[in-house]
């Protein structure tokens, strides 16, 4: 099992950042097969897989989350970022992906996104590669 980390720099309060190319670069030997596990160690951010062809989709996901999650609720946590913590739980902290011959196996329209819910910040992601025999 190979493992490592890589940085993601965000520039907005909330945004989805396409990290597919960063993830592909982890598979530098080009012949790995198995499963790739990506882990987000932050509590106001997430990881998701969604459409990457039209950049409007990632904006719509953020806008939709902001409509759904109560932004003006009298939350107790004094930092004021409870909506971001809730979005983290809704999105989830990790994604797992198949790998074939050194390439991440994604559907036609799928891309991998880092979800920033309380930025801008310098973030770090962890990865683990389980190679099949």
User: Contact between 92 and its own copies (CB under 8 A)?
Assistant: yes
Interaction between residue 10 and its own copies (CB under 8 A) = no
DSSP β-bridge partners for residue 100: 103
| Euclidean distance between CA atoms 101 and 86, whole angstroms | 37
- C-alpha dihedral over 70, 71, 75, 79, to 10 degrees? 150
Q: Which letter, b or e, does each residue of 103-113 get, where b requires 16 or more Cβ atoms within 10 Å of its Cβ? A: ebebeeebbbb
CB nearer to its own copies: pick between 11 and 68: 68
Residue 93 makes contact with its own copies by CB under 8 A = yes
Helices 82-91 & 55-68, crossing angle to 10 degrees?
Answer: 120
Binds its own copies (CB under 8 A): choice among 11, 59, 102, 120: 59
Size of site (CB under 8 A) for its own copies = 60
Cα 64 vs. chain centroid, distance in angstroms?
Answer: 17
23 touching its own copies, by CB under 8 A: no
Q: Which position among 6, 13, 20, 85 is part of the footprint of its own copies (CB under 8 A)?
A: 85
User: Do residues 121 and 10 lie in contact, with contact meaning Cβ atoms separated by under 8 Å?
Assistant: yes
Q: How far is the CB of 23 from its own copies (least distance, A)?
A: 14
82 scored as a contact of its own copies (CB under 8 A)? yes
* Residue ranges in contact with its own copies by CB under 8 A: 1, 3, 33-35, 37, 39-43, 48-51, 54, 56-57, 59-61, 63-65, 67-70, 73, 75-79, 82-83, 85-86, 88-98, 105-110, 126, 128, 130, 132-133
């Amino acid at each position: 099992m190979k493992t490592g980390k890589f940085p993601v720099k965000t520039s907005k309060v909330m945004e989805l950042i396409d990290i597919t190319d960063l993830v592909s670069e982890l598979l530098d030997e080009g012949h790995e097969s198995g499963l790739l596990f990506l882990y987000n160690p932050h509590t106001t951010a997430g990881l998701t897989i969604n459409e990457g062809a039209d950049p409007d989709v990632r904006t719509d996901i953020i806008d939709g989350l902001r409509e759904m999650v109560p932004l003006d609720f009298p939350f107790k946590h004094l930092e004021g970022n409870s909506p971001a913590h809730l979005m983290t739980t809704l999105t989830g902290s990790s994604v797992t992906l198949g790998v074939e011959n050194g390439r991440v196996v994604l559907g036609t329209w799928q891309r991998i996104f880092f979800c920033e819910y309380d930025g801008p910040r310098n973030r770090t992601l962890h990865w683990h590669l389980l190679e099949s025999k």
